[in-house]
Chain A
Amino acid sequence: MKHVISLSPHVHSGDSVQKNMYGVCIALVPALIASVWCFGLGAAVVLATSVAACVLCEWAITKFILRREVVTILDGSAVLTGLLLGFNLPSNLPLWIIIIGAVVAIGVGKMTFGGLGCNPFNPALVGRVFLLISFPVQMTTWPVAGSMGYLDCETAATPLAVMKYAIKSSDPGVLRQLPDSIDMLIGMTGGSLGEVSAICLLIGCAFMIWRKIITWHTPVSILVTVAVLAEVMHLVNPAYASAEYVLCSGGLMLGACFMATDYVTSPMTHKGQVIYGVAIGVLTVVIRFFGAYPEGMSFAILIMNAFTPLINTYVKPKRFGEVKK
């Protein structure tokens, strides 16, 4: 009788790539419900198209270009990229633009570098930023919350645009156009699909921390940094919106909880994750308050993705028995 011979350990935690990827997808469900609540059909069409396009694109590239056996297609990573890309788009975006976004996200952002685990940049953000630069008009025309149709929607300025305008005009009075902060937290404001309800995203984040899918280091360091910086700026000059508006507007929650915490493109040590999170927070506030774009989260995360290998080389975990210097 032949027995299996292998080295220890002989048992496993039962964790898997699928469990983690679909765990993140489950964490996105509250935000998904909120976006469908706010944008109705448009949200459903955009998300479905984005997920389907990402999965199909990965399948096609694996099969026809890489000519590998298609095994990773249902590991959840392509579905997750599709969901996150969809959450970064407005609900009235034409199908063909979504598909271009998906092809860039999966094709350029992920498969070019070798597929799962090899990409230096967050694929969903690569797709979003590509679309933002290529189709600036379509990507920044947001339907108002409650417009339940797909292409034919009423559009309006988002809280982020209002905040930018207040800074440009140096008039704190402009900020009075913002919804009150409770509405900002709960949602029902204009913006991309995943940007509406901060509280739903936080629930998702808490779920991921509870399920040990991620640790608190990255999201907390981003949120704390942004809150502190924004509040200081607000005290110095009231034309800058206060911390609760900065935190609950735009893609900040989505970015801090779901984009910056992407396994592949964030640092491997807790210390490194804190450095990464603080830097993303600083960059976001700088771009929002001083840059040309109203939103800085995507750029901040992509810039710090590029620094991740350096952070990994520089920051080492605390070794057991290390002599404190």
Chain B
Amino acid sequence: MDLDKLTWLLEGLLERTPGTRHALVLSRDGLKLCHSAGLRADSADHLAAIAAGVQSLAHSASVEFGDGAGGVRQAMAEFYGGLLFIVEAGHGAHLAVITSEEAEPGLVGHNMNELVEQMGEYLSTPVRAATGTA
């Protein structure tokens, strides 16, 4: 996986989307894969864990209350001082974006999905090979 290319794409997303502050790609089990330069490593670790938890809970919500199609289109949290958006990105990965309160949610979501398409298979995080009797 070409992390430099991914990071460059994340920076591009921030540049063309007003109000965005940080972008991060994480594995479904909550580990950062790459992130924009302004996000400190510790914050990136924390955001990766948070986003994995949110997506997993959102998935449970879709199973319980969705139409059975499965999957989560987008999870969003609005808090004092900003917003958090998360979308699925390839197999086993998610894209998380932190914005200021001024960001336009529709545009952020649109640009995130566009980016996911661009990134394509860059974003997939392979499942671990079984090391034992699994």
Are A and B genuine complex partners?
Answer: no
User: Which residues of B does A touch, CB under 8 Å?
Assistant: none
User: Which residues of A does B touch, CB under 8 Å?
Assistant: none
